[in-house]
Structure 1
């Protein structure tokens, strides 16, 4: 999975990201973990890749990381921000 590049822009502000779908006028803000995952999703990544990054960065349990990564991906899908 990967963040759409057509009509989607994002900017980091104080460790958080604001993603904007210019075509649909939809925006999404993220916390620090969402910012990390968004940056990873500039390239094609798996759910396991995302979970591994959360474990490494925030020293959380693997099960929690998988659940958090899936919730973030679900949010991106809901807002049609993934391709």
Structure 2
């Protein structure tokens, strides 16, 4: 999966990323590790790749990271921000 880059505009300021979905003019605000996940989804990634990266970069248990990454990606999917 990856962000629908041709249909989105995103800007990161500090640890907050603002995403604009161009087709429906909806804004989304992402902070913290979510900003890193959005950055990673600039390229094609699997859930396993996202979890591995987060575990490698942050002090977080792999099970907790998986649960949080899956929940976050689920919200991105519901908002139709990823394909």
Per the normalisation by structure 2, the TM-score is: 0.93
2:50 aligned residue: 50
2:27 aligned residue: 27
User: Matched residue of 1:59: which SS?
Assistant: coil
1:68 aligned residue: 68
Deviations 1:29-60 (A, max 9, x none): 11120111111101110001111121122210
User: Matched residue of 1:6: which SS?
Assistant: helix
Structure 1 gap ranges (5+): none
